[in-house]
């Protein structure tokens, strides 16, 4: 039994701890109905923390839509989820990004964050703007969910309702916002879809049954996800949001560990997806004794994902380890992970993104989880040593190309 199936993954454990400790799920549920239909933008936490010294004047968006290009051969994009304060992964700030960049010794090509539809269905233009002003690309987790509680079925933004077009007005407004913003960005619907900690997993949408949806030879759960993701992308393209690069994101291990819950079953297809992504985590808290090496995790997941599409570039969209773990060496885990990627152990991996967050699991602060590089001198040194040794192969500023979809 793999540890991902035996206990909640890092993000699920974090959400469960925060829900109990801060009662976030009650707050989210209380405002879900109003926020889901209002389309109003949530307050932007960056508005007060972005100093004038950090601002650059953005040129006008390109007249012809551009998208993220693969980095030069042998190099890697460097990205980050910089963490927030609420645990809902949508309150990223320039200050948090600064702290990570200082600790790692390098700037980032993209900033990863959630767009939670239980709060707002609006395109997150304000967050995208400050990210672009730093010279980075926004990487948006399009989270169509009514709360942050893990391991339960969705009640509002269900796959069936998405497929039927019930949220097309909101999706079209989001797409028009992205198109008006005009600059390259990355987006994914249904991160870690093969994990049952999220409601878009097949477990909650028909699972292995084959007589309730679509092709009778395919499992209904994954097939519904494919149809929903395709519908989302179709709507976005109809609204000419050709500046969006779409990511298909899975975990290295599936849960449940069943034949129908495989990476290939959820894939929307090469004509819809631009990038593929993995999540791979080490120790998830300070006392986690069951952590796997990054090498072991990616050795397990990479070859499976690589077979899903033979042409799409692959990134590690989420990685991290608890920097205070006393039963492993966080610095060694990090150094080996980065070294293996730059050594091209997995040739099609062209970028990585560190999950740089600290969160509470209980009222006892000693039980907190902490993956923030700035909180460990040894992990910070591991970053600086490996990234420094690879110099120009660390791509801090994204390359772009004209979108092939725009006419």
Q: Are 180 and 241 in contact (CB under 8 A)?
A: no
Question: What domains can be seen in the chain, in order of their start residue?
Answer: 3-402 (3.20.20.80)
The confidence score (pLDDT) of residue 142 equals: 98
Residue 251's beta-bridge partner residues? 279
Per-residue pLDDT of the chain (407 residues; tens, 9 = 90+): 222 333 344 444 444 444 444 443 344 444 434 444 444 444 444 444 444 434 566 777 777 899 999 999 999 999 999 999 888 999 999 999 999 999 999 999 999 999 999 999 999 999 999 999 999 999 999 999 999 889 999 999 999 999 999 999 999 999 999 999 999 999 999 999 999 999 999 999 999 999 999 999 999 999 999 999 999 999 999 999 999 999 999 999 999 999 999 999 999 999 999 999 999 999 999 888 889 999 999 999 999 999 999 999 999 999 999 999 999 999 999 999 999 999 999 999 999 999 999 998 888 887 889 999 999 999 999 999 999 999 999 999 999 999 988 76
For 391, left (φ over 0), alpha (ψ -120 to 50), or beta?
Answer: left
Indicate the SS3 state at residue 375.
Answer: helix
> For residue 407, what pLDDT is reported?
61
- Give the residue among 191, 209, 208, 210 at the shortest CA–CA distance from 200: 191
Predicted structure pTM score = 0.88
- Give residue 360's pLDDT: 87
Q: How do 244-251 and 275-281 pair as beta strands?
A: parallel
Q: Give the DSSP letter string of 244-301.
A: EEEEEEEESS-BS--TTS-GGGG---TTT-SEEEEEEE---STT---PPPHHHHHHHH
The whole-number pLDDT of residue 55 equals: 52
Q: Which pLDDT does position 72 carry in this prediction?
A: 95
pLDDT of residue 49: 41
The CB density around residue 49, as the number of other CB atoms within 10 Å, is 15
Tell me what pLDDT residue 352 has. Answer: 98
Question: Considering just the CA atoms, what is the radius of gyration of the chain in Å?
Answer: 20
Region of 340 please: left (phi>0), alpha (psi -120 to 50) or beta: alpha
| Residue 405 confidence (pLDDT) | 86
What's residue 61's pLDDT?
74
The number of C-alpha atoms within 13 Å of 254 and in the hemisphere containing its C-beta is 20
Q: What is the pLDDT of residue 56?
A: 61
């Amino acid at each position: 039994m793999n540890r991902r199936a035996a206990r909640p993954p890092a993000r699920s454990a974090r959400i469960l701890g925060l829900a109990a400790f801060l009662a976030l799920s009650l707050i989210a549920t209380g405002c879900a109905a109003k926020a889901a239909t209002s389309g109003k933008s949530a307050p932007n936490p960056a508005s007060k923390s972005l100093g004038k010294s950090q601002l650059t004047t953005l040129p006008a968006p390109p007249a012809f839509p551009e998208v993220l290009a693969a980095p030069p051969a042998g190099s890697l994009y460097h990205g980050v989820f910089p963490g927030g304060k609420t645990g809902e992964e949508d309150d990223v700030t320039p200050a948090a990004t600064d702290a990570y960049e200082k600790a790692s010794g390098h700037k980032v090509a993209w900033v990863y964050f959630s767009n939670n539809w239980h709060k707002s269905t609006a395109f997150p233009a304000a967050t995208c703007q400050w990210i672009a002003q730093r010279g980075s690309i926004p990487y948006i987790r399009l989270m169509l969910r009514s709360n942050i509680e893990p391991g339960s079925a969705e009640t509002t933004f269900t796959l069936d309702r998405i497929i039927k077009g019930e949220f097309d007005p909101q999706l079209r407004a989001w797409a028009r916002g992205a198109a008006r913003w005009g600059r390259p960005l990355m987006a994914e619907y249904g991160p870690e879809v093969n994990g049952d900690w999220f409601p878009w997993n097949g477990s909650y949408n028909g699972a292995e049954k084959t007589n309730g949806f679509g092709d009778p030879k395919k499992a209904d759960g994954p097939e519904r996800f494919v149809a929903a993701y395709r519908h989302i992308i179709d709507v976005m393209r109809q609204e000419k949001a050709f500046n969006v690069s779409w990511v298909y994101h899975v975990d290295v291990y599936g849960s449940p560990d069943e034949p129908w819950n495989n990476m290939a079953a959820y894939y929307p297809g090469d004509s819809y997806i631009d990038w593929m992504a993995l999540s791979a985590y080490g120790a998830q808290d300070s006392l986690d004794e069951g952590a796997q090496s990054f090498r072991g995790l990616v050795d397990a997941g990479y070859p499976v994902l690589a077979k899903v599409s033979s042409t799409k570039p692959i990134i590690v969209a989420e990685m991290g380890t608890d920097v205070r773990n006393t039963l492993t060496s966080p610095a060694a885990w990090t150094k080996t992970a980065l070294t293996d990627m730059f050594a091209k152990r997995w040739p099609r991996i062209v970028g990585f993104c560190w999950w740089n967050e600290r969160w509470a699991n209980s009222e006892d602060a000693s039980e907190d989880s902490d993956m923030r590089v700035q909180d460990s001198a040894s992990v910070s040194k591991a970053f600086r040593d490996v990234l420094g040794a690879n110099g120009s192969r660390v791509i801090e500023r994204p390359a772009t190309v004209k979108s092939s979809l725009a006419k």
